[in-house]
Chain A
């Protein structure tokens, strides 16, 4: 199972806790994890990726294993400790505001 940590607003929207566990088909990439997440929680469609372009929203970041994966290819395989379930993929709302 792949663990994903969601930011506050998306937990509220999806009615989940801090972390969700997902079965991911195929390679465990950003794209496939987000596809699985959106299939399990359709209300999250469009909130992490632009629905038209499927690009990451500008103020969203992806962290895992103390690395910023935001600028990695969406089709790159995630770190081994995410694949093994030892570490979650963090979906983060970037810090901004006054």
Chain B
């Protein structure tokens, strides 16, 4: 029997929401690691029982937890994230040089084929990799030492690698996104990197079409079409058809093109979802209506999905890593809010229902479809 497992990271612990293929009745387990910030929980596509969790607090630093039994039991794994070389400086908020300092792991991206191999995107911006099931982590320093590194500057949440994409056809090809530096890509398994921001236009930076400095909030792709990338930027929803070589805007008729998450339907590569947010200074939905917008045309034309979502007095946010899709034939979508709700849809977004309403602030949502 198929099991759908939704992994929810919150500001005060992790939660696992489980259902069968019908996705009507849910079991809520947690909090795991109660009181800790869980920036991300991610299951291995190669072994769904293997789950990795990024656990941290300002008091006790960074931990990584690993489960080998689908989240029933956990063991602390390696938590030493040492930069591999002289760290140098990036720009601080006031433009002065600031030394690279490790703060936390934002995102864990397990390999599609090896449960022991995982990439970790961290703050201050760098990419780490484990090949021994998270016992040890090694930095891939070519990203941090990329020529433009000294120009990178943190976004309000910190200077983080928040997105890591592994090409489903050629796993040597990687993309990362950094707030607020932009997208970078590597064709050699992370040894060398180059900016991939051509076509982005950002107000609020000195040179609006600069090579780096764009506040990219999230990038994603459909596994059947590795060359096509979708992006939710600080402002603007964007698309690239050449692996990030060039980008074009696809915001179309969205009520606001500001937002954080972006997701692609599991079986329809041109069906894309975003959650419009009013503005960079008003992090809540326009008009107090929580609406997911869906494009079935790969962008430009968007329709609001509202059935089951609050359409008045709703002033929460959906963070960049807090929306995911399952792999069932009737594609399911899930997103978590800063108000602690996790909403689910089992019909590609046509209708929604809350799975759980009163969790702590949701930082991340991932889904496992377990056969």
Q: Write the residues of chain A forming the contact surface with B, with a CB cutoff of 8 angstroms.
A: 7-10, 13, 43, 45-48, 50-52, 57, 59-60, 93-94, 96
Closest Cβ–Cβ distance, residue B40 to chain A (whole Å): 18
Known interface pairs A45-B79, A52-B82; A59-B58 also in contact (CB < 8 Å): yes
Known interface pairs A9-B35, A9-B36, A51-B82; A46-B61 also in contact (CB < 8 Å): yes
Is the Cβ of A47 less than 8 Å from the Cβ of B82? no
Whether B92 is near chain A, meaning CB under 8 Å from some CB there, is no
Known interface pairs A9-B35, A9-B36, A52-B102; A45-B80 also in contact (CB < 8 Å): yes
What per-residue 1/0 map shows which CB atoms of B151-162 lie under 8 Å from chain A? Answer: 000000000000
Whether B76 is near chain A, meaning CB under 8 Å from some CB there, is yes
Whether B57 is near chain A, meaning CB under 8 Å from some CB there, is yes
* 15 more A-B residue pairs beyond the given contacts A13-B76, A45-B80, A59-B58, with a C-beta to C-beta distance below 8 A: A7-B59, A9-B35, A9-B57, A9-B60, A13-B60, A13-B63, A46-B61, A46-B62, A46-B80, A51-B79, A52-B80, A57-B59, A57-B61, A59-B59, A93-B60
Known interface pairs A9-B35, A9-B36; A51-B60 also in contact (CB < 8 Å): no
Complex alpha-carbon distance, A8 and B79, angstroms = 20
Q: From residue 47 to 72 of chain B, which have CB atoms closer than 8 A to chain A? A: 57-63
Q: Write the residues of chain B forming the contact surface with A, with a CB cutoff of 8 angstroms.
A: 35-36, 57-63, 76, 79-80, 82, 102
Closest Cβ–Cβ distance, residue B126 to chain A (whole Å): 13
Residues of B within 8 A of A10 (CB): 60
Residues of A within 8 A of B79 (CB): 45-46, 51
Residues of B within 8 A of A47 (CB): 60-61, 63
Residues of B within 8 A of A52 (CB): 80, 82, 102
Residues of A within 8 A of B61 (CB): 46-47, 50-51, 57
Complex alpha-carbon distance, A59 and B59, angstroms = 5
Complex alpha-carbon distance, A52 and B80, angstroms = 8
Complex alpha-carbon distance, A46 and B60, angstroms = 7
Residues of B within 8 A of A50 (CB): 61
Is the Cβ of A48 less than 8 Å from the Cβ of B60? yes
Q: Interface SS of chain B: helix, strand, loop or mixed? A: loop
Residues of B within 8 A of A8 (CB): 35
Report which of B57, B58, B80 forms a contact with A51, defined as CB distance below 8 A.
Answer: B80
Closest Cβ–Cβ distance, residue B169 to chain A (whole Å): 37
List the 3 closest A-B pairs by CB distance, nearest first: A43-B76, A47-B60, A59-B59
Complex alpha-carbon distance, A1 and B58, angstroms = 31
Complex alpha-carbon distance, A51 and B63, angstroms = 12
Closest to A92 in B: B59
Q: Which of B58, B59, B62, B76 has the most CB of A within 10 A?
A: B59
Closest to B102 in A: A52
Residues of A within 8 A of B62 (CB): 46
Closest to A42 in B: B76
Complex alpha-carbon distance, A9 and B33, angstroms = 9
Closest Cβ–Cβ distance, residue A48 to chain B (whole Å): 7
Contact sample, A vs B, 22 pairs, CB 8 Å cutoff: A9-B36, A9-B59, A10-B60, A13-B63, A13-B76, A43-B63, A45-B79, A45-B80, A46-B61, A46-B62, A46-B79, A47-B60, A47-B61, A47-B63, A51-B80, A57-B59, A57-B61, A59-B58, A59-B59, A60-B59, A93-B59, A94-B59
Complex alpha-carbon distance, A32 and B60, angstroms = 19
Complex alpha-carbon distance, A71 and B78, angstroms = 28
Residues of A within 8 A of B57 (CB): 9
Complex alpha-carbon distance, A57 and B62, angstroms = 11
Complex alpha-carbon distance, A43 and B134, angstroms = 13
Complex alpha-carbon distance, A93 and B60, angstroms = 8
Closest Cβ–Cβ distance, residue A56 to chain B (whole Å): 11
Complex alpha-carbon distance, A47 and B80, angstroms = 11
Q: Which of B61, B63, B80, B82 has the most CB of A within 10 A?
A: B61
Residues of B within 8 A of A93 (CB): 59-60
Complex alpha-carbon distance, A14 and B136, angstroms = 19
